[in-house]
Amino acid sequence: MRGVVQSLAAVGRKLLTRKYTAGYPEVKPELPARYRARIVLTRDPDGQERCVACNLCAVACPVDCIDVVKAETEDGRWYPETFRINFARCIFCGYCEEACPTQAIQLTPDFETADYERSSLVYDKDDLLIAGEGKQAGYTYWAVAGKAIAGKDKGEAQGEAPPTDLRDLCP
């Protein structure tokens, strides 16, 4: 009985508050930066693609709407030859962003992705890739990975010792 009265009071108090009407679409809502909507692919601070086509976003995706195909540059850098998201299926859960080891895939507050044509909701890499670093400034996966790429030889990643000398007998 007490609970019922409390609930009625809580709802009743709302009758006294001022009405609020969102003026959307004329007035755009101010959404927090971590709001989960349209997905983008970001770049490293040096402007190179962040995505290394590891497929973790694809496997984390509960609706299987991400398709990534790996390719490799001459110097050993992995990158996605194809990166495709079917936004007709995406549920904006953000698991892909959580799974991403390179901070490449990020969700943005831009939620206005509706369309009349389902096929135009299939976004390819060109549609997803943006120019900047997004929410994670300063992070470069290649600076911590052990694989050598152009401009970062073995032993030059963060916390790495120079390559071993196999003929050295010292302990």
Partner 1 sequence: MSKVRLTIDGIAREVEAGQDLLSASLGLGVEVPHFCWHAALGSVGACRLCAVRIHDGPDDDEGRIEMACMTPVAEGQRVELADPEAAEMRARVIEWLMVNHPHDCAVCEEGGACHLQDMTVATGHHRRRFRFEKRTHRNQDLGPLLTHEMNRCIACYRCTRFYRGYAGGRDLDVFGAHDRAYFGRYEDGPLESPFAGNLAEVCPTGVFNDKGWSEHYARKWDMAATPAICTQCSVGCNLFAAERGGRVRRVQNRYHGAINGHFICDRGRFGALHVAEARLDHPRIGGAPADAETTRAAVQEALAKGAVGIGSPRASLETNAALRRLVGAERFFAGVGEAEARAVGRMAGWLAKGRGASLKQMEAADAVLVLGEDLTGTAPRAALALRQTARGAADALAAEKGVPAWLDNAARVAGEGRRPPVALVTPMTDALDDVATWALRRPPEEVAAFGQAVAAALRGEAAEEAAREVAEALKAAERPLVIAGFGTGRGDAVEAAGAVAEALGEHARLALFPPEANSLGLALAGAEGLEGAVAALEHGRAGTAVIAEVDLVERADPRLVERLFAAAETVIALDSAETRTTARADIVLPVADWSEAAGTLVNHEGRAQRSFAAVSGGRPAGWRVLAGLMAVRPGWDTLDAMLDALARDLPQLAPAKETAPGAAFRLPLGQVARAPWRMSGRTAQDLAGRVPEGTPPADDDAALAFSMEGAQGADAPPALRTSYGVPGWHSASAAPFLTDGPDGPMAGDDPGVSVLPGFTAPAPLAEHAPRGAGLAPLPLHEPFSGDELGRRAQRLAQRCPAPVIALHPDDAAEIGLADGQRVAVDGGEAVPLTLDPAVPKGHVAATAGRLLPRGGGHRAIVEAAE
Cis peptide before 25 (omega within 30 of 0): yes
CB of 35 to partner 1, least distance (A): 23
Work out the end-to-end distance of the chain between its first and last CA atoms, rounded to an integer number of angstroms: 78
Which are the contacts of 141, defined by CB distance < 8 A and separation ≥ 6?
44, 50, 52, 101, 102, 103, 104
Question: Which of 39, 52, 105, 128 contacts partner 1 by CB under 8 A?
Answer: 52
Count the residues of the shown chain that bind partner 1, applying the rule CB under 8 A: 49
- 3-class SS of residue 99: helix
**Binding mask of the shown chain, residues 88 to 117, with x at each position contacting partner 1 by CB under 8 A:** xx-----------xx---------------
CB of 68 to partner 1, least distance (A): 7
**Residue 153 CB neighbours (<10 A):** 12
Binding site for partner 1 (CB under 8 A): 52, 54-56, 58-59, 61, 63-70, 72, 78, 84-86, 88-89, 101-102, 118-119, 121-122, 124, 141, 144-148, 154-155, 157, 159-166, 168-169, 171
